[in-house]
Structure 1
Amino acid sequence: MYWNLFLTFFRIGLVSFGGGYAMLPLIEYEVKSNNWLTTQQLTDAIAIAGMSPGPIATNSAVFVGYNVGGILGAIISAIAISFPSLIIVVLIALFVSKVKSNHSIISYVFYGLRPVITALIVYAAINFAIQNNIIQGISLIDVDWISIVFVFIALAMLLFTKLSPVIIIFLSGLAGIIVYY
């Protein structure tokens, strides 16, 4: 069990580019494939991981690891998802002069990765909305329009005001109490 946790999260950490939100679809796939958590448990884990300090992917890995293997499972999952980044940074540091001389090739690689990373992040957001019944699949028939309005108001506040995201989260929570209570 612990070895499976390590290999799974090591593999996720190794092939994931674009940060924690881009890793979420991979984590979801592995969690479902291994039957580690129910869909609702995973959705709750991602919500808690997103609100907790630290990277969302690492927090999600810790939550999954803890549910599968207790404290040791959480530690193994956190190390496994972080270890590939450490290896890559050390290798890049060792060969920094070679990377500098091939700057254009590296730039082209990242230009190719950006749209895929954006798609992974959008997929994670849509999947989160589906799992929380904000939208029903791709159909707009059974949409929680109040939640959609919340999304756009929060997005507008993030884009057009200088309010801290913490304040926006707090205000959203208050609005949720007012509207849904």
Structure 2
Amino acid sequence: NIFITAVSLEESINNAVPGARKKRMSEAIHNTNTGSVYVALSDGRYLKKIISGHLQMPSAIVTLPSVGRICYADAGLHAKIECADMDGTHREIIVKDLVFSPSSMAVDEGKGNRIYWADPKYKKVDSVNPDGELIIYFKARTDRTTIVRDPNVPWAIDVFENHLYWVSRETKTLYVQDKFGRGR
């Protein structure tokens, strides 16, 4: 558990570790506009850039240690959810349609490492299975599911057991909901 990931400004590489996100954390990562992902030990040693290029504004990251992967959100005009091996190789875009400003991500390790993300622009929380078992959705190959669609604008999320927890930035309220999208 000494593996941490961080997304940081290219100019402030020395500031990457204080903004680091540990594997279970999924809140938004601010002031990121150069498109790089770093890895370091929990004490800040051995900082190394593992992903750069083809990222606009990395905004959230989760790790899937059981399969040796990381998944991260990239906000902006060409927003997407992308996964890669923990060393930055084998990058794969898993969602590129109908996503604009993903602000937070969570992983459900008990449900095949299913990835969840909040997108305040579309006022929803979606999920997708990153393992390659795909079906057709809006002419894209994915098993994407909308879990929350709410005018209270989901901002930060987490998953635990059978529940999805999400916070609205506007109301500053924590909502608890079935992770399969059945009621609140």
- Common fold by TM > 0.5: no
TM-score, structure 1 normalization: 0.27
Which structure carries more helix by proportion?
Answer: 1
Which structure carries more strand by proportion?
Answer: 2
Name which structure has the greater RCO, CA cutoff 8 Å, separation 6+: 1
TM-score, structure 2 normalization: 0.27
Question: Considering only CA atoms, is the larger Rg found in Structure 1 or Structure 2?
Answer: 1
